[in-house]
Amino acid sequence: MYNAKKHIRKVLDAILAQDYQGKIEVIVVNDGSSDRSLDIIYDFEKKGKIKILNQPNLGAVTATNNGFKVAQHDVICSIDSDVVLHKNWLRKIMEEFCDPLVGAVQGYYKTPVNASFWARMMGYDVEARYDAISSKYVTHVCTGNTAYRKAAINKVGLFDPAFQYGYDNDMSYRLQKAGYGLVFRKDALCDHYWKPDFKSYVRQQYWSGYGRLQLIRKHGDRITGDSVSGIRMILQVPLLLLCIFSLSAGLIVPVQFRSFFLRTGLMFLVIMLFDRLLFSIRVIRKQKDFTALFLPVVHLLRNFVWSWAFLQWSIRRFKKTKE
Whether residues 217 and 244 fall in one domain: no
pLDDT of residue 53: 97
Strand-pairing partners, residue 281, are: none
How far apart are alpha carbons 12 and 76 in whole angstroms? 16
In this structure, the answer to whether residues 146 and 168 fall within a common structural domain is yes
Query: β-strands 145-149, 51-55: how paired?
Result: unpaired
pLDDT band at 152 (very low <50, low <70, confident <90, very high): very high
Q: What is the span of the domain harbouring residue 301?
A: 235-322
Residue 212 and residue 283 share a domain: no
Residues 264 and 310 in one domain: yes
The pLDDT of residue 61 is above 90: yes
**Three-class SS state of 187:** strand
- pTM here? 0.93
167 and 252 inside one domain: no
**Domain annotation covers residue 82:** yes
CA distance 29 to 167: 17
For 157-206, write each residue's pLDDT tens digit: 999 999 989 999 999 999 999 999 999 999 999 999 999 999 999 999 99
pLDDT > 80? residue 43: yes
Total domains present in the chain: 2
CATH, residue 34: 3.90.550.10
Whether pLDDT at 320 is above 90: no
Digit-coded pLDDT (tens) for 246-281: 999 999 999 889 999 999 999 999 999 999 999 999
Q: Are residues 48 and 111 in the same domain?
A: yes
One-letter identity of residue 17: A
Q: Which residues contact 95 (CB under 8 A, 6 or more apart)?
A: none
Instruction: Please indicate, yes or no, whether residues 310 and 210 belong to a single structural domain of this protein.
Output: no
Q: Where are the alpha helices (DSSP H) in the chain?
A: 8-16, 37-46, 60-70, 89-95, 117-131, 150-156, 167-177, 198-218, 231-234, 236-252, 255-287, 295-322
* Burial label, 55 (beta-carbon count in 10 A; 0-12, 13-18, 19+): middle
153 and 296 share one domain: no
Interval 5-16 mean pLDDT: 97
